[in-house]
Amino acid sequence: MRARTTMTGLALTAGLALSMVPAGPASAGAPSADRATTSVVSHKAATTKAEQQRVEDYWTPARMKSAIPVGAKVDPSKGKPGGSTGATAVLETPQPRFGKVFFTSGNANYVCSGTATNSTNGDVVTTAGHCVSDGGVYVTNFAFVPAYDNGATPYGTWTAQELLTTNEWKNGEDYDYDAAFAVMNENAAGASLTGITGGYPAAFNQPRGQTMKAYGYPAAKPFNGQKLYSCTGVVVPDTYGGSTDQGLACNMTGGSSGGGWIQNGSLSSVTSFGYTGVRNILWGPYFGTTIQNVFNTAQAR
């Protein structure tokens, strides 16, 4: 069994402080290829004007500031990852394509990171699967705040009308497929999200072992979740758990989960988890055909 904890979201366990959670059994030998399935699962969120306004009003500055960073890490059992560069997160100027994701699970409020993503409908935010579903149960009060900066919300709060993830994540919590896409409602002026913020194109089935730049809002110590950070480096294969995920040397903490990884100008992964006992390496799912199917469904909504 692989025990993992997601870096910002992962399993929403009590306190969400880098707790250890069980994941599916690791496959023997080399990581399996991405399964080309159409296993897309979705959940309706704020679909009425009244519900959209309720969610927007719910996320007061105080609730945003006190939202808990989800945390998860994995227990290494073998091997060591290859070399990587860029372990220390760099403070970034706020950018409207990146923002904070807020949601409620159970009786508590949590925070992840997300990326405005170019799409047919202009309304897609990409994040981690564990930021929309935990233990097979969808979160509520999902919202995206572009360019959040120390309490400032220059582009407003955007609510979701639908949350989509892979069946492999929702019903199996398979970290190889820990990705999700939220279809956002248009704002009060009738504008689509990326019409206001811009977005990154999503890329799938890209070459492995490339240089990526991961963005996010780390909220667990020594960070406070109020600023955007990034790490840049060459991603490496997972030789710890035998997954198809890729690793990036980076010291971002809980709260950065769901933050976008940019490869050659395109969004190619998100922050998913870390391994217990392995310092300063983030892991993200390879964006293959299964995750692409979810994105294509989301952008057609």
SS3 298: helix
The residue type of 105 is S
The answer to whether 110 and 68 have CB atoms below 8 angstroms apart is yes
Tell me the mean pLDDT per 10 residues along the chain, length 301. Answer: 42 28 31 55 97 98 94 53 71 98 96 98 98 96 98 98 97 95 96 98 97 96 95 93 92 96 98 88 96 97 95
Residue 292 CB-half CA count within 13 A: 15
Contacts of 92 (CB under 8 A, 6+ apart): 215, 227, 228, 229, 230
Dist CA 175 CA 127 (whole Å): 13
Residues 6+ apart with CB under 8 A from 240: 74, 76, 77, 78, 79, 80, 81, 275, 278
Distance in angstroms (rounded) separating the CA atoms of residues 213 and 150 = 22
Around 71, how many Cα atoms within 13 Å sit in the side-chain half-sphere? 18
**Which two structure tokens, joined as six digits, stand for 7?**
């870096």
Query: Does pTM surpass 0.85?
Result: yes
Residues 204-225 as b/e (b if ≥16 CB within 10 A, e otherwise) read beeeeeeebbbbbbbbbeebeb
Mapped onto helix, strand or coil, the DSSP state of residue 217 is coil
Q: Please report, for the chain, the start and end positions of each structural domain, with discontinuous segments joined by +.
A: 3-13+39-299
The reported pLDDT for the residue numbered 22 is 30
The topology under which CATH files domain 3-13+39-299 is Thrombin, subunit H (2.40.10)
DSSP 40: E
Distances in whole angstroms, Cα of residue 193 to Cα of each of 98, 120, 146, 177:
12, 12, 9, 25
Half-sphere exposure (CA, 13 Å, Cβ side) for 282?
42
Say what the pLDDT of residue 84 is. 58
Q: Is 291 helix (H, G, I), strand (E, B) or coil?
A: helix
pLDDT at 74: 58
What SS3 state is found at 50? helix
- According to the model, what pLDDT value does residue 247 have? 96
